[in-house]
């Protein structure tokens, strides 16, 4: 079992980048939209959403590129590699959503 190098192109990295980039666009707006019960607030901060998109895409590529091949080798299937990459891509999305939730709630 060969460990993937950092930034290596593989299916897990691609899946991670796609999931992270799309999720990063909306992650900041999730907390205000849920608290106000207004889905229009998902798009309330377009510049911040763009910044999160730019950051989460490469981070999802790196994390998904590490987790995906490990699961692919363990289960010996390409689909497991893509699922692992997608799960790795959820890491920056969840972190950004938690940060957005922290910024919106009073403390």
- State pLDDT tens for residues 23-50: 999 999 999 999 999 999 999 999 999 9
How far apart (Å, rounded) are the C-alpha atoms in residues 97 and 82? 23
Q: How far is the C-alpha of 46 from the C-alpha of 53, rounded, in Å?
A: 10
Pick the closest to residue 81 from 12, 26, 30 (CA basis): 12
Cβ neighbourhood burial of 42 (10 Å; 0-12, 13-18, 19+): middle
Looking at the whole model, is its pTM more than 0.85? yes
What are the residue ranges spanned by the domains of the chain? 11-104
The pLDDT score that the predictor gives to residue 74 is: 94
Task: Judge contact between 32 and 102, C-beta under 8 A.
Answer: no
Q: Assign 1 a pLDDT band (cuts: 50, 70, 90).
A: low
């Amino acid at each position: 079992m060969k460990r993937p190098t950092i930034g290596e192109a593989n299916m897990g990295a691609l899946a991670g980048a796609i999931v992270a980039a799309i999720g990063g666009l909306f992650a900041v707006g999730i907390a205000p939209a849920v608290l106000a019960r207004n889905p229009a607030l998902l798009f309330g901060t377009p510049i911040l959403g763009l910044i999160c998109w730019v950051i989460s895409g490469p981070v999802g590529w790196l994390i998904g590129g590490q987790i995906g091949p490990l699961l692919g080798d363990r289960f010996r299937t390409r689909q497991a590699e893509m699922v692992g990459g997608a799960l790795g891509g959820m890491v920056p999305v969840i972190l950004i959503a938690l940060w957005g939730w922290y910024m919106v709630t009073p403390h």
